[in-house]
Amino acid sequence: MFINIFILLECYRRVSKEIYFVIQPDYSQDYKYYCFYWTPTSTLVNPTVVFKFQNARNNYIYLDDVTFNSSTNLIQNGDFETNDDLLEPTLWFSPCWRVCSRSIVEENPKSGKFSFRARGDYVYLKQTISISDDEQSDIYYFGFWLKFNCNNVDPCTISATISSSLVF
């Protein structure tokens, strides 16, 4: 006999021109899911998803299974299974300033074989999304998994942003 157990996730709801959300981890060192239902107040034109990582130089933040959709996932390689994306910045662009590192690694994936790993100050990960007229929606879903290797002594912060050029 099989028993189905559904975990209902409470997603944040936003009605705005853009999403900007700062995450302070609970330091559990397990993956945690973050999600949003977003109602943009204008038509989306080439929206950009940006993650900004700030953490102590000796600690890592892992990101996996990024989703942005109305019906199909508009993020390309959100699970990082094509592990050369940082070399091919047409999908994911990841500048790194100061003392930092970022890579797609076979270490600590939430699913599959790979995840994105960031360490240090001012690591960014961004992707511009192409949305056709038939993919325009009233409500978009944005979700991702994060795992923090940080603690109260060596804290870390992540921000997630979705913004776009606006058509009025």
Q: What is the pLDDT of residues 134-148, one digit of tens each?
A: 777 778 889 999 998
The 10s digit of each residue's pLDDT in 84-113 is: 655 555 567 777 766 777 888 888 899 999
Report the domain count for the chain.
1
Contact 131, 98 (CB under 8 A): no
Provide the domain limits for residue 146: 21-167
Flag whether 2 is in a domain: no
- Chain centroid to CA 98: 22
Question: Does residue 15 lie in a domain region?
Answer: no
HSE at residue 130, side-chain half, CA atoms within 13 A, is: 3
pTM over 0.85: no
| Residue 41 maps to a domain | yes
